């Protein structure tokens, strides 16, 4: 008889960790599909909530709970849930709060794929939508109908960085839940629930994780709403992978440090770019020329994160392409909030699915470049950007 025929060392039984009296200094990853349940009585108790435990990772997993607890602490929320991506979080919240026949108010200038999702709610799920300017609370109040179920805005719009006055919008909505995407700002810069939002969502693929190696979403709010959102997420299969939760949990340890550094560098770069002869316009809320400078001063004393949008003085996509090639050490990457500084072109990435006319109505021209400032020193980025700008735009001096 060979060893492999023994029941104890059959490959399907291998890999279980022994018991030990110490605890790991870093949280373990519970990379498991399911959890072994002692018996049927315990299963019943788990389902009733009289025993604490986990059954199936699509519903819940200790890494979901651990990250959810950190997010609720950071957002000062009763509860938080985790999802396979930022879009998973937004979709789960939208499908929980709204149903066929309901009305939804949506900010006109959201992340492109969120706008696409909202269009689907209308086309496939039978909701009606009114698009509004999130910087105009009166327009929001005027959009309210008897069947309005929620309103969706971003703390700072993508890519032109228009800052919403969350408290004014929440007031305009009365009891209607306000859902705020705070991906660009994080709880280090603002806690939307404290300004009257009902639910805050994030693409944790961005600053919360902060290292450009995770796809994850989170949502936080009151316990009852989040319980329903979790149920939606389980049914639609939007739940997060334990490993991604673990990586994000690790990323959160440095979130305040990273956000402080990113804001400092970004504020300086925005001011410098604003005076650069090869740049025709800079969109950043710390600049007095920005449309929402006053609200930004009130809500974001540190800064509004690491995104700067700016335009070249002409040349369309070709000029942007030349700039990207010239900016050799600043990669073109259609994401943001990596620890590295990256550059993107909203007209062909996040808002590429729109017609040119619709994009121009939002102010997204072909010459618009979006910079996501990372953790490199200011002087390094200044030098690299200056060289790339001067390589594509003829300027004197
Ligand atoms: C503001 C904002 N919200 C949501 C998302 C979607 O997040 P994810 O890519 O994690 O699905 C993004 C992605 O870029 C975003 O920028």
The Å distance, Cα 216 to ligand 1 centre, comes to 9
Q: What is the pLDDT of residue 168?
A: 98
Q: What pTM did the predictor assign?
A: 0.95
**Cβ 274 vs Cβ 287: under 8 Å:** yes
Alpha carbons within 13 angstroms on the beta-carbon side of residue 83 total: 30
Residue 179's nearest CA partner among 123, 124, 121 is 121
Residue closest by Cα to atom 9 of ligand 1:
86
Q: Establish if 19 belongs to a structural domain.
A: no
pLDDT tens digits for range 185-210:
999 999 999 999 999 999 999 999 99
Q: Establish if 397 belongs to a structural domain.
A: no
Residues with CB under 6 A from ligand 1: 85-87, 111, 114, 154, 158, 181, 183-184, 203, 205, 215, 217
Q: What is the pLDDT of residue 2?
A: 44
Exposed, middle or buried by CB within 10 Å (0-12, 13-18, 19+), for 63?
A: buried
pLDDT tens digits for range 50-88:
999 999 999 999 999 999 999 999 999 999 999 999 999
Q: What is the pLDDT of residue 7?
A: 65
Of the residues 252, 271, 300, the one at which a domain ends: 252
Residues 95 and 109 in one domain: yes
CA distance 91 to 275: 41
Q: What is the pLDDT of residue 105?
A: 98
Residues 93 and 226 in one domain: yes
Q: Establish if 10 belongs to a structural domain.
A: no
Enter the tokens of residue 128.
């009606």
Residue closest by Cα to atom 16 of ligand 1:
111
Residues 305 and 379 in one domain: yes
Q: What is the pLDDT of residue 1?
A: 39
CA distance 182 to 39: 43
Low-confidence stretches of the chain (pLDDT beneath 70): 1-8, 397
Residues 388 and 297 in one domain: yes
Residues 200 and 239 in one domain: yes
CA distance 334 to 329: 15
Of the residues 252, 270, 304, the one at which a domain ends: 252
CA angle (71, 371, 356) in 5-degree steps: 105
Query: Domain total for the chain?
Result: 2
What kind and span of H or E run contains 104?
strand 103-107
Residue closest by Cα to atom 10 of ligand 1:
86
Enter the tokens of residue 217.
């979403």
Residue closest by Cα to atom 12 of ligand 1:
203
CA angle (122, 126, 127) in 5-degree steps: 60
Q: Establish if 370 belongs to a structural domain.
A: yes
Residues 309 and 358 in one domain: yes
The C-alpha R_g of the chain, in whole angstroms, comes to: 23
Q: Establish if 132 belongs to a structural domain.
A: yes
Supply the CATH number for residue 94's domain. 3.40.640.10
Mutate to test the pocket of ligand 1, among 107, 114, 206 (most ligand atoms within 8 A of CB): 206
CA distance 27 to 352: 40
Q: What is the pLDDT of residue 396?
A: 77
CA distance 229 to 139: 28
Residues 348 and 212 in one domain: no
Q: What is the pLDDT of residue 381?
A: 98
């Amino acid at each position: 008889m060979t060893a492999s025929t023994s029941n104890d060392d059959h490959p399907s039984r291998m890999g279980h960790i022994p018991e030990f009296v110490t605890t790991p200094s870093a949280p373990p990853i519970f990379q498991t599909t399911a959890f072994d349940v002692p018996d049927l009585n315990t299963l019943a108790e788990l389902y009733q909530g009289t025993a604490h435990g986990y059954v199936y990772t699509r519903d819940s997993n200790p890494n979901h709970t651990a990250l959810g607890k950190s997010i609720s602490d950071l957002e000062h929320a009763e509860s938080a849930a985790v999802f396979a991506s930022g879009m998973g979080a937004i979709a789960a919240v939208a499908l929980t709060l709204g149903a066929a026949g309901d009305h939804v108010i949506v900010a006109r200038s959201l992340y492109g794929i969120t706008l696409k999702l909202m269009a689907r709610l209308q086309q496939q799920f039978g909701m009606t939508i009114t698009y509004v300017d999130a910087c105009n609370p009166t327009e929001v109040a005027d959009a309210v109908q008897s069947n309005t179920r929620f309103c969706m805005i971003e703390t700072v719009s993508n890519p032109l960085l228009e800052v919403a006055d969350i408290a004014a919008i929440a007031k305009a909505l009365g009891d209607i839940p306000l859902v705020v995407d705070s991906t660009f700002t994080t709880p280090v810069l603002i806690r939307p629930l404290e300004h009257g939002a009902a639910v805050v969502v994030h693409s944790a693929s961005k600053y919360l994780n902060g290292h450009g190696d995770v796809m994850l979403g989170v949502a936080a709010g009151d316990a009852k709403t989040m319980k329903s959102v979790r149920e939606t997420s389980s049914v639609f299969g939007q739940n997060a992978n334990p490993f991604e939760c673990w990586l994000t949990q690790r990323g959160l340890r440095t979130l305040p440090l990273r956000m402080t550094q990113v804001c400092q560098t970004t504020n300086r770069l925005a001011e410098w770019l604003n005076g650069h002869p090869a740049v025709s316009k800079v969109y950043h809320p710390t600049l007095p020329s920005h449309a929402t400078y006053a609200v930004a001063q009130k809500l974001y004393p540190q800064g509004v994160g690491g995104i700067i949008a700016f335009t070249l003085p002409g040349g369309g996509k070709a000029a942007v392409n030349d700039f990207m090639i010239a900016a050799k050490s600043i990669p073109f990457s259609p994401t943001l909030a990596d620890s590295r500084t990256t550059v993107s072109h909203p007209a062909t990435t996040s808002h590429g699915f729109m017609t040119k006319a619709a994009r121009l109505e939002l102010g997204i021209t072909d010459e618009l470049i979006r910079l996501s400032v990372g953790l490199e020193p200011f002087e390094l980025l200044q030098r690299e950007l200056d060289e790339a700008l001067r390589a594509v735009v003829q300027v004197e001096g």
